[in-house]
Amino acid sequence: MRAARSILVTGASSGIGRATCLEYARRGASVLAMARTEEKLAGLVREIEKSGGRAVASAGDVGKREDVRAAVELANKNFGGLDTAVANAGFGLYAAVDRITEEDFDAITRTNVKGVLWTLQESLPLLRASRGRFAVVSSILGRASVPWSALYCMTKHALTALADSARLELEKDGVSVTLVGPGLTATDFQRNAPSRLGGVPSPSNVRGWTSEKVALRLIAAVERRRREVYMTFPGRALIWARTRFPALADWGVRKWMRKFEERQKRGGNAAP
C-alpha cells in the first residue's frame, strides 16, 4: 500500500509526533509539521530536507482553532490537498483528584480534547476530497485509568468516544478514523508534565517503547485503516484486566502505587 501523499502531524516537535513526521517523510510523503515551538520545527524540517524529503512547518497552538486552520491551509497550498491527519498534540498532568484546579482542567482539555476536535474539523474537507485517513493519538489510559492521572485519563477517554463516533459518521465519505493507544514510551512526556502531587514526585524519566517504534505501529495501523491499535504488552494486559477482571486490575494498580511511592522516595523510577 502506498504511503499517503501528504500528511499533517500535530505535536510534531518531539516524541511520537516528531518520529511520525520523520517516518512518513522517509516513505516519500510530504509532511506538514505543526507544534508550538518554532525552533524545534525548523530543526525537524531541516532534518527531513537533508534526507531528501519534503516538509513545511506551521508554528501554532492546536487549542486555537485559527492556528489549526492555518496549518491545514498551508498543507493545501503547498501539497495540493491532504491525505492523512495525525492529531498527536497533548500533554499530561500529575495530580490527586482533590488537587485538580479549574485552570488545570481548562488547559489540558483545551489541548488534549479541543485540539483533536479542531484538527478533525478543519482537515475534514480535504480528507473527504482524498477519501483519506484521520488518526487520533490517545493512550492506553483512554481505556484504563490509573491514580494521580485522573484529569489526563479523562481527556483520553473523551478521545475514545470522539474516535468511535467519528469513525461511524465518516465511513460513508471514505474517511477512516484510527484510534492509536501508545503505552509507556521513552520520551520527555513524563518530565514535561506539570505535577500537583505534593509529597509524591512525578516521574523524571521512563523506560518503554521508543518513539520510533510507536510511529511505525501508528503508521501501519493508519495505512491499513484499522479501527484501533493499542501498544505494549503491559498496556494491553491492563485494558484486558480492567474489562474482564476489574478487581484484579485494581489489585495490580494498588501494588504499582506502593512500588511507585517507595521508589520515588528513593529517587527511583516507576512511572505510570
b vs e for 134-153, b when ≥16 Cβ sit within 10 Å of the residue's Cβ? bbbbbbbbbbbbbbbbbbbb
Angle between helices 102-109 and 150-170 (to 10 degrees): 30
Euclidean distance between CA atoms 107 and 70, whole angstroms: 21
From the list 24, 94, 152, 230, the catalytic residue is: 152
Active site residue 230: no
3-class state of residue 176 by DSSP: strand
Number of Cβ within a 10 Å radius of residue 234: 13
Euclidean distance between CA atoms 222 and 177, whole angstroms: 8
b vs e for 68-100, b when ≥16 Cβ sit within 10 Å of the residue's Cβ? bbbbbebbbeebeebbbbbbbbbebbbbeeeeb
Euclidean distance between CA atoms 234 and 96, whole angstroms: 23
Number of Cβ within a 10 Å radius of residue 245: 12
Contacts of 91 (CB under 8 A, 6+ apart): 108, 111, 112, 189, 192, 193, 194
How far apart, in Å, do the first and last CA atoms of the chain sit?
36
| Catalytic positions | 152
